[in-house]
Structure 1
Amino acid sequence: MSDKPAIVLVHGFWGGAAHWAKVIVELDQRGYRDLHAVENPLTSLAADAARTRQMIEQIDRPVLLVGHSYGGAVITEAGDLPNVAGLVYVAAFAPDAGESPGQISQELPPAAFDNIAPDSDGYLWIEQDKFGESFCQDLPAAEQLVMAVTQKAPLASTFGDAVTDPAWKRKPCWYQVSTEDRMINPDNERRMAARMRPRVIVELPAGHASLAAQPQAIADLIDSAAAELA
C-alpha cells in the first residue's frame, strides 16, 4: 500500500460526487490509489456528516478529507474521527460552532444569491439558465449546461443547520479561496480561512467550481497537504 493517505472527497450543494471527476483523474495520475467520493443526500448536515463518517470508518488508514462548498461544513462536522489526518477546504464553508452556511452567507451575501429559488417541495435550486454564470462561469458552455441540468438541489433547511464541534480546531487544515466566486463571497472565504489558521491559503482566479475549472491546482493543494501529513 502506498504511503499516501486515503483521500475522501465531499461535494457541496447543487452537485454530486461526479463534480470531483477531473480532480480524481489528476490524483490518480499522481499515484493516489485510495480515492473515495461521498454521495451525500443533502437533506441535513447531520445526515450528510453521518454518511461521510460511514465512508471514513470503512478505511483503515489515515484519511485526508477534502470538502467543496457546503462539503466544507460536512467535513467540519464529520472530521473528528481519529483516522482523519487533515482537512482541505475548496472554496468551502468552514463554520465555527453554532454557525450555519446560511448565516455565513447572509452576513456577506454572494453575487449570485438572488439566482437561488425554492420549489414547492422545499428544495433550493439555482435557476437553470443562470447556473453557469452563478456557479461555474469559467467552464466551457457545454460543461456549464451539464452541471445546470444535473444539479442536485439541497433541502432549504440544510442551509440553516449549524456545526456543533468544528474539526478544524483540532486537525491541520488547508484552504483554497476562489477570488471570482459568486456562490460564496470571496471575502467570506478569506475570513473563514484566516480564523482557521490553516497551513496554507491558496487564492485562485476561479469561480465557485474551482475543482472543475482548475483541477490541477486543486490536486496540487491536496498533494501538498498529503506530503506534509506524511
Structure 2
Amino acid sequence: MTETSNKLAVFFDLDDTLYDHLVPFREAVREVLAPAEDKLDYAELFYTVRHHSDLLWPKYLSGELELEDTRVMRLELAFAEYGLPLSREQAAQIQASYISRQYTIELIEGVAEQLQRFISRGHPVGIITNGPQAHQMAKLRGLGIDRIIPPEMIFISDAVGLAKPDPAIFRHVNKVTGTRPENSLYVGDTWANDVVGALAAGWRVCWYNPRGRKPGTDHTPSHIFSNYKEFSELPLV
C-alpha cells in the first residue's frame, strides 16, 4: 500500500477499550459459581485473568497450547491466586458462559462519536487486537465496528501471526497501511500490551484507564484518560 497522508492515524484496542469486557465476565462467574455472598472484586479478578491470558498467549501462538486449554488455564491460575481454586469443569463452564455473552455487547459511552470524529476528518482509523480471528471479528460485528472500519484496517493477532506487546505487530500495521510510527496513535487499556508495546514501536499512546490503575513500568504514555469525554478533549491533532 502506498504511504498515506501526514494525518494522524488512530488505532484502537478492542477488549476493554471499545466495550467493557468485565460485564460478561462478571455475569458468567455469577452464573456458574452462584456465590452466596457476592463480595468478589470482579474488576481485580478479571485483570488477573487477562494477565495470565497474556502470559499464556505466546504458548498458544507457538502451538504448545490449544486455544481452549489456554482459555481455561488462565481462569484456573487467576482464581487460584484469589484462594478460589476452580475444578477444570468449573473453569470450562465459566469460559463457555463468558464466551456466549460476548456477542451481545455494547460500545462504551462516547466511543462511536470518537470513531466517527476521526473518520469524518479523514484520519486513517483501525483496530489492533489480540485473539482468535473468528472470535474477535464476531465481537466487532456485534459492536457494529465492521460497518465503519474497513477490513484492511483491522489487525487481529492470530491472522497477522504477531501479538501485542511485540512491537513487530505495530510495525507490521505501519507497513501494510502506509502509515508512519511518528504519525500513529494507539488507544488501549492494558499497560503491558498496549502502552509498552506501542511505545516500543515509536507510536504515541493514549492509555484508557477507567479504574485508576497504577503504571506497571516507567514508560510514559502521551495521554491518560478515564472516559471518552476526556478523550474527546485531548490535544491529539
TM-score, scaled relative to structure 2: 0.32
Higher strand share: 1
TM-score, scaled relative to structure 1: 0.33
Higher helix share: 2
- Structure showing greater radius of gyration is 2
